[in-house]
Amino acid sequence: MDLVVQSGKRSYDKENSNSNMKCTRWSLGGDVSTNPPLLADMGLSILQDEESIGGPTPTPPVTQVNEDKPPPPPKVLQQTNQNVLSHGTFLPDDSGNEEEFFVYKRRRLDAIGGDDKFNRMSDELILSVFRWLPKFMLARCAQVNRRWKRLAFDETLWRRLDLGGKTLKPGVVGRVILRGSSVLRLAKAEVGSPIFSPQLHYLPSLPPVRSKLQHLDLSMAAIDPQALEELLSVCFDLKKLSLEHCILSQSICSHIANNQKLETLNLAMCYGLCHAYLVNILSHCKRLQSLNLAWTGLCTEDLRMICRRFPASLERLNLSGCRSTLSDTHVRLLAEQSPGLVELDISDGTHLTATAVSAIIHELRHIEYLAFSSELKSMPNLLYLDVYGILNESAMSTLKQSLPHIQINKYLFSSVARPTVGIRRTSIWGLRVRD
């Protein structure tokens, strides 16, 4: 905004005609000398009249105008007050006298100025701030500039991620994997296909993708077999995996077998499972400690083949739901193959007899949890016993009296190989997935 003040030939305004102040050359109206804030708001300092300070009024020199020469350029006076840059200009009249004086206001200078303080911070300090932000906010921070994008996608910020119950568009899971996540929860999530979006143009220039996932929970997830195969094809360091209620295939089981460090595997209620797929997994995963094969519809031949291949490191096993296929022979084979079992669930095995109990008593010396019912007094380490749907109320009362040191029907659902137990839905296998 320009402010123009003209003096000399122009007369005062009517509002200032009765003012006692003498202004012979210029005026801003009113008693400016007694109102400093007015000029301060305009970005100007107080300009006093020569007569008010007792000095004589100088007469401007008369110069001879030469018609042959062009008029000299106007003189520019600069004055900086606070943060405002003001300019004063003398404009000569026709006779060469510098009578017109204009004061106008220019742009206000930035009072803050200086360098960006955030850019002067180290990467470690910025990362310590970013760790407190939720993941969706990190994605927004990555759009600020190149440095923020590099820091917002640092793998230390994406090691734990909970996307359970979310609807994920194609390519979202692939981006998470490329950011270096090691603990990923996708329980009850709807995963779009494909896993790696074709829009990631930099993927062909990279070597074959190898994820850093170690704990992966896909329990009850809505995912296509092709997408599940694509996801597991980049996983080679998994330690704990849950595929509960997913559709399996031979290629998917082959990718699972590539994780030789696998310790926990949950395949409860999976579809399409057979002994050929399981034998491939059990042959390569020698460190397996917890395995859940509940309600997978395994036939008698499938059980006979896999009971011979259970690794000696197995500590927890769930074979519940094999109503008419699990026999005493199967129990004896698995007890001889894995004598270190601490937890065994063979509930709903309607064809099991005292022979199976005898095999458990003689072979499984360290058993602590058993989902079965029969003569169990000779098992001193037994602490828990589940017999749901087998005994009536009177028989249950008799069993509790005969086994006072054992807690009966304490757990409604088996916890073998399952990532979450109870109400703690923000952790998988005891590891937090939310910062």
Among the three residues 45, 74, 108, which one is the final residue of a domain in this structure?
Answer: 108
**Total count of domains within the chain:** 2
What does the pLDDT read at residue 93? 52
Last residue in a domain, options 67, 91, 108: 108
Residue 288 included in any domain: no
pLDDT score of 432? 79
Residues 6+ apart with CB under 8 A from 384: 368, 369, 370, 406, 407, 408, 410, 411
Asked, for residue 143, whether it belongs to a domain, the answer is: no
Residue pair 172/192 in contact by the 8 Å Cβ criterion: yes
Q: What CATH number did the domain enclosing 384 receive? A: 3.80.10.10
Whole-prediction pTM value? 0.63
To 10 degrees, what angle do helices 275-284 and 300-307 make? Answer: 10
Residue 144 lies in a domain: no
CA 330 – CA 221 distance, rounded (Å): 31
Mean pLDDT of the chain: 77
* Domain edge (last residue) among 108, 135, 160: 108
Hey, what amino acid is at 392? N
Angle, helix 250-257 to helix 225-232, in steps of 10 degrees = 20
At 407, list the tokens. 């807690």
Low-confidence ranges of the chain (pLDDT < 50): 1-27, 46-54, 76-86, 90, 201-207, 373, 375
Which of left, alpha, beta for 320 (phi over 0: left; psi -120 to 50: alpha)? Answer: beta
Domain annotation covers residue 188: no
DSSP readout, 224-242? -HHHHHHHHTT----SEEE
> H-helix or E-strand containing 370?
strand 369-371
pLDDT at position 145, please? 87
Domain that includes residue 88, residue range: 14-108
Residue 157 phi, psi dihedral angles, 5° rounding: -90, -10
Tell me whether residue 185 is in a domain: no
Query: Is 394 inside a domain boundary?
Result: yes
Query: Do residues 306 and 285 make contact, with C-beta atoms less than 8 angstroms apart?
Result: no
Kindly state whether residue 214 falls inside one of the protein's structural domains.
no
- Tell me whether residue 29 is in a domain: yes
Token pair for 231:
């996801």
Strands annotated E in 251-349: 264-266, 290-292, 316-318, 343-345
Task: Give the position of tokens 């109206």.
Answer: 29
Please name every residue paired with 88 in a beta bridge, in sequence order, or none if there are none: 77, 103
Mention every residue, 6+ apart, whose C-beta is less than 8 A from residue 160.
181, 182, 183, 431, 432, 433, 434, 435
Pairing status of strand 343-345 against strand 190-191: unpaired
First to last CA, the chain: 52
